[in-house]
Structure 1
Amino acid sequence: MTTMIDDRADAAWAAAVASDVASLEREGLDDVLVAVRLARSRLDAIEMRVARRLRQLSDEGRSDAPQRAIASATGKTQRDALDVAARDELCVERPDLEGALDRGELTAAHLDAVHGAARNLVGPVREEYLGHTDDLLRRASRVSLETFRRECRALAKHCASAPGCDPDVDELEQQRAASRVSRWVDPITGMHHTRLELDPVRDAKLGASINRELARLRATQGAAQRPWQQLLVDAALHALTGGGGSRPDGGVGADSIGVGAQRGAVVDRVPEITVVVDFEALTDAGRRHGLRETENGVDLPVATVRRMCCDAEIVPVVMGGGAEVLDVGRSERTATRAQRRALRALYRTCAHPECGVGFDACRIHHVEHWLEHRGPTDLSNLLPLCETHHHQVHEGRWGLRVDADRVGTWTRPDGVRHMVESTVNRTACPLPGEPPPRTAPTRRGSARSLDGDVHAGEGVGGDELAMV
């Protein structure tokens, strides 16, 4: 087996090195990238075994710690070197993961996802989680890396919530206790770093404040000409301080990016937090597997959601009922608030299957263009796209069609069909032994209504999501 793995890795490396990349078309470049991935996975497996040997030598007093030796010899950061050592510890527990890395079936990033989800699991719960690695290996080849990370976290929560366990009771308190702020200066670049590690509720408050400031900044004159990251930095600074960012024209001032706070003033803000939860997730039967998360897809404990429901405004989104109109034809140019709420229930991020930009940073795009195709402002014709993918389908000559089930067909500018996948990305993660969830919480045809009030018994037969 080792010889076969070595031969495959050697062949992949030889193919990558021998490729005349400058003369290749897209299909040939894909082959090179596959070869690079196989070779890199093999190298990561070797590096991991080096870490294992370094750990043995360190235990015998013949070497320093593995992460220090790796960082010194390779130029990696201490954080990256620690990741290598963590992969080794994981693969000692589950040798099948090491074999999959050797064969190129997994990448080092997949191992990091498996390890990250298991970090706080101990004893029988950790054993149960790692006992499902066969399921994870199958999923790794079928879904994106971000989806794989989400499914690892969902599996870990599932194992921790087995009968006799009730992790939700103290989970938020543990997350709050683990929250921290780190600040440091990079000695090479001179850049100042501030890192916040927050529980999901406080992070949702901060995120809502940043998104509100970002939306206001994007509406200011000259914002379209500013780099996206600079807008985001200014929005974060203003959300945290009430001022202190740079002006849209590039200047600096105490309250430089908008109206509101004066120098020294205390700004009182009450951020709005949106939580999307399906009804089943709040019941005892559905608490182990249901949708309960912030608008950007961060899972929340059941107990936390129940507590938030006590004093929150609850807006049920009933897919298939009859209430607030979500199809307005050409009477409106931009998406209405009701339409945005319905879309938020369907999408965590940009609708492009390979994009992770959050919903609030996206534009609401008309699939049939408003001007060119006289497309209506109906829910079935709307979906969120980030700046990059919105530019692609307008100025970049990419084609996008969405069918009645919100399955999107993306076509490259050269006319070649790029992918056909569901655009909907707010779905519960599948658990071991369960089929993958439906691609969208809608029926055939688009979601047709959003009920702004709570009415017992209405919308029966539709799929219900609540926005808290």
Structure 2
Amino acid sequence: MRHPPDALYADVRDTDPDVLDADGPTAHVGRLAQLQAWLDAEKVRATRAQRRLADDGRAVPPEHSLARDGKTSSRDAKATTEREAVCTAMPGFEDALAVGAVSAGHVDAVASATKHLDEAETAEFVGEAESLLADAEKQGVDAFTRGCRELAKSIRARHHSRADVDELERQREQSKVTRWVDQTTGMHHTHIECDPLTDRQIWSAVQGARGTLRRSNQQTGTRCSWERLTVDAIVEAVSSTGAKARTGMVVHIDLPTLTDGRHDTTLCETDSGVSLPVDTMRRMACKADIIPVVLNGDGVVLDEGRAKRLATHEQRVAIEAMQATCSHPDCTVTIDDCRIHHLTPWRLGGRTDLADLAPVCETHHHLIHEGGWTLTMTEERVATWTRPDGHTYWTGSLNDRRPIAA
């Protein structure tokens, strides 16, 4: 395809977004995305041609041309060259990109996942091109990125039994803290880069402190933003010592994996959905206090009725066992940074019961309370988001825990 579909181009050219109403802007954004995908496919073709010329000594490398003539950053230029390499190895993705069936983000997810694979591992990954393309055509970029990452990890694990453990050790060695001051705003920044296990230890402490502070604020009537509350919780967590600072870390791992090791549908991840090495977690479990969570079981009182205004720790653990992110279908904010929301407002008689609780991030919490949107949920935790005009935006299961391939 050497030019965009005439009807698509005409629709984009002749549409005035300022006069659209109802679902008009949504449809227009979809057409723009389709046109952008075609442009990205053309850029892939141009990059490939530039590379051939550069190999013959008749042109500059494509990275230089993309940065200078394409008026893009060196980082984006590098991403485009990686995109071209993926499309060359998996031409089905290039064809799908040209017709808008996938986006450049889907192609970039493949590039990112295969970046650290060796030749044999990459060949095995490319061998899954057909099923990967089918997934890309029906999944959003975030979900597809996670799937590509897990496929790459499972391939590495098959080729190298200690691959995931070695990766964790590499991340530990590269962990660092960077501090700087923004000279324009005067705000101080502290940036921590660390491995997944260290991150969970940090945020388990922060999450515990934040819950304590929020309950205290609730009792005293103190109001502050979620962002300020989180900052205060970090200060509280790093200021604590001894027994007060001791916190737990929640890891979701299925029993067969814990007892016998990795299998075809292994699940081993943090409460925020980050995969962890199975061997490492099995070793840690030898010294850990293991608290099994069986949903709808009798081990913990999960329903608090109206005795408590805020969700209990046990309820949050139970919710985390079912989902890792905000309940909005387009949101990837991890459950760490979500409020536990009463589907039936507390002021209207809502109960602090598991069946009436769902995690939502600050943005979507405002969307419900100030934006007029409605979130409802069945006993099977099938949620429905409804716009203020009564239109059903999305219906689906909130359970986003998925086993990963062996």
Counterpart position of 1:462:
none
CA pair 107-425 structure 1, distance change in 2 beyond 3 A = same
Counterpart among 38, 43, 46 of residue 47 in structure 1:
43
1:276 and 2:272 correspond = no
Counterpart position of 2:122:
126
Counterpart among 314, 322, 327 of residue 303 in structure 2:
327
Unaligned runs of 5+ in 1: 243-259, 433-468
SS in 2 for 1:74: coil
1:147 and 2:122 correspond = no
1:18 offset after TM fit, Å?
1.0
Counterpart position of 1:404:
379
CA–CA distance in structure 2, aligned partners of residues 42 and 353 of structure 1: 26
1:416 and 2:378 correspond = no
CA–CA distance in structure 1, aligned partners of residues 70 and 212 of structure 2: 45
CA pair 183-369 structure 1, distance change in 2 beyond 3 A = closer
1:223-276 per-position Cα deviation (integer Å, ceiling 9, x unaligned)? 8555x656656766x489x5xxxxxxxxxxxxxxxxx48xxx99x955543212
1:317 and 2:293 correspond = yes
1:128 offset after TM fit, Å?
1.6
1:115 and 2:90 correspond = no
Map 1:30-41 to 2 at 5 A: 30-41=26-37
Give the residue type in structure 1 aligned to 2:268.
R
Map 1:265-304 to 2 at 5 A: 272-284=248-260, 286-304=262-280
1:394 and 2:390 correspond = no
Give the residue type in structure 2 aligned to 1:425.
D
Give the residue type in structure 1 aligned to 2:361.
C
1:176 offset after TM fit, Å?
2.8
SS in 1 for 2:294: strand
CA pair 86-38 structure 1, distance change in 2 beyond 3 A = same
1:343 and 2:290 correspond = no
1:67-120 per-position Cα deviation (integer Å, ceiling 9, x unaligned)? 233122333222221111111111121111111111111111101111111122
1:145-172 per-position Cα deviation (integer Å, ceiling 9, x unaligned)? 2111111112222323338755345332
**Greater CA deviation, 58-67 or 23-32?**
58-67
CA–CA distance in structure 2, aligned partners of residues 192 and 396 of structure 1: 32
1:372-410 per-position Cα deviation (integer Å, ceiling 9, x unaligned)? 1x2222111111111222222223221221112100111
CA pair 43-421 structure 1, distance change in 2 beyond 3 A = same
Unaligned runs of 5+ in 2: none
Q: TM-score, length-normalised on structure 2?
A: 0.86
Normalized per residue, the structure richer in helix is 2
1:435-464 per-position Cα deviation (integer Å, ceiling 9, x unaligned)? xxxxxxxxxxxxxxxxxxxxxxxxxxxxxx
Map 1:21-420 to 2 at 5 A: 21-162=17-158, 165-179=161-175, 196-212=192-208, 224=223, 226=225, 238=235, 260=239, 272-284=248-260, 286-372=262-348, 374-420=349-395
1:426 and 2:384 correspond = no
CA–CA distance in structure 2, aligned partners of residues 230 and 283 of structure 1: 42
CA–CA distance in structure 2, aligned partners of residues 47 and 193 of structure 1: 37
Q: TM-score, length-normalised on structure 1?
A: 0.76
CA–CA distance in structure 2, aligned partners of residues 73 and 191 of structure 1: 36
User: How many pairs were matched up?
Assistant: 403
Give the residue type in structure 1 aligned to 2:8.
A
1:333-363 per-position Cα deviation (integer Å, ceiling 9, x unaligned)? 2212211111121121111121112212211
1:222 offset after TM fit, Å?
10
CA pair 328-210 structure 1, distance change in 2 beyond 3 A = closer
CA–CA distance in structure 2, aligned partners of residues 30 and 21 of structure 1: 10
CA pair 359-49 structure 1, distance change in 2 beyond 3 A = same
Instruction: Verify the 8 A CA contact 1:353 1:422 in the aligned structure 2.
Output: no
CA–CA distance in structure 2, aligned partners of residues 347 and 404 of structure 1: 15
Give the residue type in structure 1 aligned to 2:390.
G
**Greater CA deviation, 111-120 or 167-176?**
167-176
Higher RCO (C-alpha 8 Å, min separation 6): 1
1:186 offset after TM fit, Å?
9.3
